[in-house]
Structure 1
Amino acid sequence: MEGLYATDRPRGLEDNLKSKILFSGRRRLSHDITAIYRQWSEALGADDLSMRLLSGLHAHATIFMGLGRVGETVFLLPEKAGGHFATAGILERLGYRVVELPIDLERHRVDMERAKRLVDGSDGGILFIDRSEGLVYEDFGPLTENPALYCVHDASQYLPAILTGRYRSPFAMGFDLLISTLHKSFPGPQKALVATRTRDERWERVKRVMSQFVSSHHVRSTYLAGLGLEDMGRLERYTDRFLENAVALEQALADLGIDVVRRAADAPPTQHLWIRFDSAEAAYEACRRLELCRIHSNYRLLPYGLGYGLRLGTTAATLQGLRPTHVPRLAQLLGDILSGGFTLSRRHAVRELASAMADSDDLRCPSPPSPVLFGGVP
């Protein structure tokens, strides 16, 4: 399926005749894509969706080319509150007026009262919550009550917990459009989805723009996205476990005296952890020490004015077999490496832990009984 062009919607004779170019032999693919879209729409509680796009930023640039108009205001989650560092630049380049939401630096979240006053006083525009960093899952429902606003939520970091009901859906919060990648928290292919709560005029504009500016649908990735929903029990176990692992690891690191940022207890936890350092140089050295011992982390400027540090996430490790019973050993290894640096014995200890995790792994995909997908088409 690599490189095949296929439409993501079945077309009638009139549409086919009007097409500037049409590839034969794709009807079965279009049928299956429609079935996968329906499957995902039902799982998300969406009225319609598309998987034409490849990544989150690809989705941001493409969608906002059709969603609004030049000069329109976008109320945006700022980078300092965990918003993506590239989003404001994309929106400004497209001609939008960007207004950042106020934040509460001490509580590490949006200042909801001030933000609500800001958006409720608007006579129109777009609300865009693009959260790529956060220790808790915030409810932005109070910000969507102004009927003059069109509300967009990027759920890339939270998709499994939304699908399994562990987090409140952005649609239940009042958002009109949901964006998500399928290769971050969701264990799927390189792909992005865009889902709408209601098929309205804005959604039709978004679909037209995606059709105009995205030529290939990347069919193989869409099939893989469909297979990703086939075992909801596995997805639930994965979701519960990576959240348990994150909370347990945070506590274990704190018990060792490591400067891990503690999350608030009054909101659902995420899979992320932040470790603070005195300087960018110290944070980078810590990242390199862990990398040499085969523990991968993100060196980055942390939000909320916390300075440079490390971000750890538990999704990939959970797929490799990490359980809460492994967390004390992992925390001890992290502490030893951060304080003492790389040694060959520490690298071997990490490898031994990874082997123990793999031996207890019950999340790996089972082998398919036969090479048959969707409707009997091999």
Structure 2
Amino acid sequence: MLRRSVARQARILDGSILLTPVDSFALHDPPDAALDRLEGLYATDRPRGLEDNLKSKILFSGRRRLSHDITAIYRQWSEALAADDLSMRLLSGLHAHATIFMGLGRVGETVFLLPEKAGGHFATAGILERLGYRVVEPPIDLERHRVDMERAKRLVDGSILFIDRSEGLVYEDFGPLTENPALYCVHDASQYLPAILTGRYRSPFAMGFDLLISTLHKSFPGPQKALVATRTRDERWERVKRVMSQFVSSHHVRSTYLAGLGLEDMGRLERYTDRFLENAVALEQALADLGIDVVRRAADAPPTQHLWIRFDSAEAAYEACRRLELCRIHSNYRLLPYGLGYGLRLGTTAATLQGLRPTHVPRLAQLLGDILSGGFTLSRRHAVRELASAMADSDDLRCPSPPSPVLFGGVP
């Protein structure tokens, strides 16, 4: 029964268009069955010498090659991010938030946190408060949909700055806030990682952040995994590593290999990044041309893959989401930031991996307009399926025959 359910869902996805900003597909199919054999194995992500091995409370034999490859993958990613050190022990962004902040600070310490109303993740403040932190929010410019940097610089309070941006139409430079030498600065780059890796966005490290967190299964088209990277190996980083080692027992090596494979072809990653950003800007303009109440992004900062459509009420926004769903266009119904009310959150990452190009955008916008105004019909669902098929036929990003997974040098 489960196999039939999975097969049916795959068929439906093939005839759907995913305009959700947190879904992604790998740039290649799973490499081969050999990598699947590693799924359940325990392995350390740090090769150890004899003295460290003797001091270990538990040690798994036969994993020397795995640890060697994991170290090589870490080195590969550290170089790509200009990081001094990096770990991929964690599984997701919120998993990273909870685990890292168990080691990063102390009970009672203050975190200057990007709030939900400015695009911060809705769960982060609750996690930090549960861990015993005092949370303070920076002032927001609601009209410009950004942090009010000048006021925030004057009012900044606390010993840790955490920019956990899960929403935003532009990529903001938070460098003015990191200039405070008393702050230890953390940036969650889950929505921006491909553009950071390819140089389209300024790196958080270049802005002055000390720690970078990111998932590898949102904007980056990789496996279920989170990374944590440090600009400098300092005392706080050592505390974070100790906590990750203490609270994360299995490294999940298969996902780490897939993360390494995801950096194999930087040219393809660049094409993907440029295309999903171009698709987002083109779709925003096409929807505006049709009279749809899409929130327009400012032109003075780099665009993101996000789009927001406003509605008069939560009920109207939910009905719009359901209409699109019935026609097999996926979106997010949610409370938008900056006091915009309930609406639809769209994104172009997954659709780009389905083959969406700017040439498809006018037809996609027209379908969105027809469905939002006229609701579900079988003919509109068929039209979505036809566009999804046309997108798939033009796909030049996802590789059906990836190379061998054994790529990172080796030891016997």
TM-score range, shorter chain: over 0.9
Preserved contact between residue 136 and residue 157 of structure 2 (Cα < 8 Å): no
Change (3 A) 1:376 1:23: closer
Task: Kindly indicate whether structure 1 or structure 2 has the higher relative contact order, using CA contacts under 8 Å at least 6 residues apart.
Answer: 2
Tell whether 2:180 aligns with 1:146: yes
Q: Distance in 2 between matches of 1:254 and 1:160?
A: 27
Cα distance, 1:365 vs. partner?
1.8
Q: Distance in 2 between matches of 1:210 and 1:27?
A: 21
Change (3 A) 1:334 1:128: same
Q: Distance in 2 between matches of 1:74 and 1:17?
A: 39
Q: Distance in 2 between matches of 1:3 and 1:300?
A: 36
Preserved contact between residue 68 and residue 411 of structure 2 (Cα < 8 Å): no
String of CA shifts for 1:111-141, please: whole Å, max 9, x gaps.
111111112797xxx0000000000000000
Change (3 A) 1:328 1:376: same
Question: What is the TM-score of this pair, normalised by structure 1?
Answer: 0.97
Change (3 A) 1:120 1:90: closer
Q: Distance in 2 between matches of 1:303 and 1:28?
A: 47
String of CA shifts for 1:248-302, please: whole Å, max 9, x gaps.
0000000000000000000000000000001101100100110111100000000
Preserved contact between residue 276 and residue 306 of structure 1 (Cα < 8 Å): yes
What is the alpha-carbon root mean square deviation over aligned residues? Answer: 1.3
Q: Distance in 1 between matches of 2:259 and 2:106?
A: 32
Aligned residues with identical type, % of pairs: 99
Tell whether 2:194 aligns with 1:160: yes
Find the counterpart in structure 1 of residue 226 from structure 2: 192
Change (3 A) 1:136 1:371: closer
Preserved contact between residue 65 and residue 410 of structure 2 (Cα < 8 Å): no
Cα distance, 1:373 vs. partner?
3.8
SS at match of 1:266: coil
String of CA shifts for 1:73-118, please: whole Å, max 9, x gaps.
1000000000000000000000001001110000000011111111
Preserved contact between residue 120 and residue 146 of structure 1 (Cα < 8 Å): no
Q: Distance in 2 between matches of 1:193 and 1:121?
A: 25
Q: Distance in 2 between matches of 1:146 and 1:370?
A: 47
Q: Distance in 2 between matches of 1:190 and 1:236?
A: 21
Question: What is the TM-score of this pair, normalised by structure 2?
Answer: 0.89
Change (3 A) 1:197 1:246: same
Preserved contact between residue 32 and residue 374 of structure 1 (Cα < 8 Å): yes
SS at match of 1:21: coil
Cα distance, 1:370 vs. partner?
4.6
Q: Distance in 1 between matches of 2:158 and 2:103?
A: 25
String of CA shifts for 1:211-240, please: whole Å, max 9, x gaps.
000000000000000000000000000000
| Runs (4+) off by over 6 Å | none
Find the counterpart in structure 1 of residue 89 from structure 2: 52
Q: Distance in 1 between matches of 2:388 and 2:411?
A: 38
SS at match of 2:338: coil
SS at match of 1:220: helix
Q: Distance in 2 between matches of 1:371 and 1:241?
A: 27
Q: Distance in 2 between matches of 1:32 and 1:372?
A: 9
Q: Distance in 2 between matches of 1:369 and 1:264?
A: 41
Change (3 A) 1:84 1:371: closer
SS at match of 2:156: helix
Preserved contact between residue 68 and residue 410 of structure 2 (Cα < 8 Å): no
Q: Distance in 2 between matches of 1:193 and 1:7?
A: 16
Preserved contact between residue 279 and residue 308 of structure 1 (Cα < 8 Å): yes
Preserved contact between residue 103 and residue 111 of structure 1 (Cα < 8 Å): yes
Q: How many residues align?
A: 375
Range with greater deviation from structure 2 (134-143 or 17-26): 17-26
SS at match of 1:120: coil
Preserved contact between residue 111 and residue 158 of structure 2 (Cα < 8 Å): no
Preserved contact between residue 72 and residue 97 of structure 1 (Cα < 8 Å): yes
Gaps in structure 1 of 5+ consecutive residues: none
Find the counterpart in structure 2 of residue 240 from structure 1: 274
